[in-house]
Chain A
Amino acid sequence: MFETDKKLLNDFQRDFPLVPRPFAEIGRSLGISEGEVLEDFTRHIENKTISRIGAVVRPGTVGVSTLAAMKVPQEKLIEIAKIVSSFDEVNHNYEREHSFNLWFVITAPNESRLQEVLAEIENKTGITPMNLPMEHDYHLDLGFKLKW
């Protein structure tokens, strides 16, 4: 990966310029044109090395969320994962290597809907999700330092 490319990925995870032409400003700091910056970012988004350029919103700002985990018999994993993923409120669903093998994040507009989704998942799967809401956040999220 070229140096400029690394800088685009690493140095602009925060402090993306809040100016009328932010890509031109980034280009100025890297010695390339506005068009080249836009092209490079577009390519990174197309090949999914970056998921987006945008705002990272503080958890809990636009709703409530929780992490939940279930112990699912291996032979039922796909079937149960499908039920869990079918809820619009579930935005992450991972299979993990542990006796708690299905981990998912539920985000809802309010606490009562969140509890409702947990209860519906329990009803439809017969497995009680372990509810692990965030009590404190210890990470400031200044971006992730990439090393090559």
Chain B
Amino acid sequence: MKADVSKIDATTRAIIAATQGGLPLTAQPYDAVGDVVGLSGAEVQARMQAMLAGGVIRRIGAVPNHYKLGFNANGMTVWDISDEHISELGQKVGALEFVSHCYHRPRHLPHWPYNMFAMVHGKTREEVKSHAKEITAILGNSVNASDIIYSKRILKKTGLRISS
């Protein structure tokens, strides 16, 4: 599912650029965005509604910082799942409430046998391990190998950045 920048129009791109750092915390944020991109607040709302409906925007809302909220033991769980079942099982794992990202990625044999990544959030490593067990139960016989890779240090983290 690769889209090029050229596939979204200039106004959509301008709205994404103007809101990527967050909506302004003022009483009428869409008016403020409109001032930046040259539209009325109502037009910004309508555009964002259309972007939601079209899937360009997945959701609009508060983006919590898991670490600051005490979810310190986030584990990247990685799985080697048989190719014929990955689609069905990936959707089940992606729907779990403690999973924030779930992707199919390529294997790099022999160094890297895993083809599914699921980011699991927990307050302790014990909690992450028990969530991983729940995933193992869902995967049943289709899983050949798995691992939990914990983060040690965040060396750089910035949000999506595009220029307008």
The one of A8, A98, A101, A138 in contact with B103, judged by C-beta atoms closer than 8 angstroms, is A138
Q: A56-B57, A98-B149 given as contacts; is B49 within 8 A of A18 (CB)?
A: yes
The number of chain B residues touching the other chain, given as a range, is: 35 or more
Chain A residues lying within 8 Å of B106, measured Cβ to Cβ, are 132-133, 135
Report yes or no: A55 in contact with B19, Cβ–Cβ below 8 A. Answer: yes
Report yes or no: A53 in contact with B57, Cβ–Cβ below 8 A. Answer: no
Least CB distance, A14 to chain B, in whole angstroms: 4
* Interface status of B131 (Cβ within 8 A of chain A): no
Least CB distance, A144 to chain B, in whole angstroms: 5
Chain A residues lying within 8 Å of B91, measured Cβ to Cβ, are 138
C-alpha gap A15/B21 in the complex (Å): 18
Report yes or no: B158 in contact with A24, Cβ–Cβ below 8 A. Answer: no
Q: A53-B25, A138-B90, A139-B94 given as contacts; is B59 within 8 A of A130 (CB)?
A: no
Report yes or no: A50 in contact with B152, Cβ–Cβ below 8 A. Answer: no
Report yes or no: A130 in contact with B63, Cβ–Cβ below 8 A. Answer: no
The number of chain A residues touching the other chain, given as a range, is: 35 or more
Report yes or no: A135 in contact with B104, Cβ–Cβ below 8 A. Answer: yes
Chain A residues lying within 8 Å of B112, measured Cβ to Cβ, are 69, 100, 130, 132
The one of A61, A107, A133, A145 in contact with B3, judged by C-beta atoms closer than 8 angstroms, is A61
Which residues of B1-21 have CB atoms within 8 Å of chain A's CB atoms?
1-5, 8, 13, 16, 19-21
In the complex, the chain B residue whose C-beta lies closest to that of A14 is B59
Chain B residues lying within 8 Å of A60, measured Cβ to Cβ, are 1-3
Residues of B within 8 A of A (CB): 1-5, 8, 13, 16, 19-23, 25-31, 41-42, 45, 48-49, 51, 55-66, 68-69, 76, 87, 90-91, 93-95, 97, 99-106, 108, 111-112, 116-117, 121, 147, 149-162
* 10 extra A-B contacts, CB within 8 A, seeds A49-B69, A98-B147: A13-B62, A16-B23, A52-B23, A53-B63, A58-B58, A92-B158, A135-B106, A139-B99, A144-B64, A144-B121
A-B CB contact pairs (8 Å), 17 listed: A13-B62, A18-B60, A56-B58, A57-B57, A61-B8, A67-B117, A91-B156, A91-B158, A95-B151, A135-B103, A137-B103, A138-B90, A139-B100, A140-B58, A143-B61, A144-B66, A146-B69
